[in-house]
Amino acid sequence: MRVLITGGAGFIGSHLADLILQRGHTVLAMDNLVTGSMENLVHLEDDSRFSFIRHDVTEPIHVGGSLDAILHLASLPSPVDYLQMPIQTLKVGSLGVYHALGLARAKSARFLLASTSEVYGDPLVHPQPETYWGNVNPIGPRGVYDESKRFGEALTMAYHRTHDLQTRIARIFNTYGPRMRMQDGRVVPNFVGQALRGEPLTVYNDGSRTRSFCYVSDLVEGLYRLLLSDEVMPVNLGNPREITILELAQLVIHLAGSSSEIALVSPKGTRTEDDPQTRQPDIARARTLLGWEPAIALEQGLLRTIAYFQKRSASTV
């Protein structure tokens, strides 16, 4: 297959590029490098089956030659980024998907949309199955991300129904691992960075909110299997092990061998407005349809992530 990955220089996109190359395909990675980084792709420079295109998917996308699949990951998934860049977030989540779907149609390529657990908003059903329609505040600060992803899903289904395009929708739950940016602002890089620097871990509010964290190698395997499957309806991909943010902070301190303390803080501005109280994927569909479930335990994945951040901070000193 000749595969285009939008957001290919990002955290998940670059791991997906590695996996797809390992499975014998050709990869074109596209990224505007707003949050992605060429450092995530530098190890692929000499691979003749890999190429990079710098492009912003909110502008029409032109790619020469045939394409068998488009994995559309271009997005601003960190709440810090989408709160700072709300209009760009809406544009990439709407125009970006529109352009990528148009390209898929022109090339008769299979299309996979990287959607999100945020389509469920602050969920009133727990754990969240794909049949749940969600509880999203459209005009709240997180609405720019959540609603653009919901629009992306609607557009993807419309292309499938109208043009018979082969489409797939992955609802990705919290994912972590090497190549997350240190300044990403999401909880794992924040806590790992703080633990390694010996600073207090900033647990927002009382730390009772829950999330379920999936290691990136598990996630990209799920995306690849979904791409190859025949499943058109959305599939949750995530690790069902749910923990509170306070427990996560304690675990990171322990695994990093850090002397950091925990600080319960109320962040300024809109950072925690509409912050979902709980989140846990129901992955029954992924298990049945894809034969997929996560293999990396949280402790194991965090140790690998800590080692990555340790190495990076040593090389930037």
Supply the minimum distance, in Å, between the C-beta of residue 275 and ligand UDP.
Answer: 5
Q: Which helix (H) or strand (E) holds 264?
A: strand 262-265
CA dihedral 81, 84, 88, 94 (to 10 degrees): 70
Closer residue to ligand UDP in complex, CB, 167/190: 190
Nearer to ligand UDP, 98 or 123 (CB): 123
For residues 160 and 211, which CB has a smaller minimum distance to ligand UDP in the complex? 211
- Torsion sign, CA atoms 294, 298, 303, 305: positive
Torsion of CA 194, 198, 204, 207, to 10 degrees: 110
Q: What is the secondary structure of 194-227 as a DSSP string?
A: HHHHTPPEEEETTS--EEE-EEHHHHHHHHHHHH
Give least dist CB 146 to ligand UDP, A. 10
Quickly count: other Cβ atoms within 10 Å of residue 108's Cβ.
Answer: 12
The position carrying tokens 């989408």 is: 82
Three state DSSP letters for 40-94? HCHHHCCCCCEEEEECCCCCCCCCCCCCCEEEECCCCCCHHHHHHCHHHHHHHHH
> Shortest distance, CB of residue 46 to ligand UDP, whole angstroms?
34
CB of 45 to ligand UDP, least distance (A): 31
d(CA 148, CA 146): 6
- The footprint of ligand UDP (CB under 6 A) covers 79, 174, 186-187, 190, 202-204, 209, 211, 245, 272, 275
Catalytic residue among 120, 145, 215, 224: 145
Told to judge if 120 belongs to the known catalytic residues of this protein, a careful annotator would answer: no
Residues 6+ apart with CB under 8 A from 269: 83
Shortest spacing between CB 212 and ligand UDP, in angstroms: 9
Nearer to ligand UDP, 166 or 202 (CB): 202
Smallest distance from the beta carbon of 238 to ligand UDP, in angstroms? Answer: 11
Question: 49 vs 132, which CB is nearer to ligand UDP?
Answer: 132
Nearer to ligand UDP, 226 or 248 (CB): 248
Structure tokens at 134: 């969600």
Q: Which residues are known catalytic residues?
A: 145
